[in-house]
Amino acid sequence: MCTNIVYEWLKTLQLPQYAESFVDNGYDDLEVCKQIGDPDLDAIGVAVPHHRRRIHEAVRRLKEADETATGLYFTLEPQP
């Protein structure tokens, strides 16, 4: 399996064993992962309660990071 951002994210959560299932179920980007709920974890095959809690907590942190991040905008056109 090729390394991607979801694999790296799951690796930091010490849950890399779910990476292939995440990608196979369409969770191949962190933006998509922010939408994960219990039915999604069922479909992915995350049955261990502690693993589910860890993923839910990580999703909450991803959402919070979005709320506190300031937007970064740039242009490729030269400024006067």
Instruction: List, for residues 14-53, the tens digit of each pLDDT value.
Output: 999 999 999 999 999 999 999 999 999 999 999 999 999 9
Task: Indicate the average pLDDT of the chain.
Answer: 86
Query: What's the pLDDT at 61?
Result: 93
What's the CA gap between 63 and 39, in Å, rounded?
A: 19
Which of the four CATH numbers 3.40.50.1700, 1.10.150.50, 3.30.160.20, 3.40.309.10 does domain 5-71 have? 1.10.150.50
Can you give the pTM of this predicted structure?
0.77
Q: Is the pLDDT of residue 74 over 60?
A: no
Give dist(CA 2, CA 33) in Å, integer. 18
Non-local (6+) Cβ contacts of 75 within 8 A are none
Cα–Cα distance list, 69 to 5, 9, 62, 66, 73 (Å): 19, 18, 11, 5, 12
How much is the CA Rg of the chain, to the nearest whole Å?
16
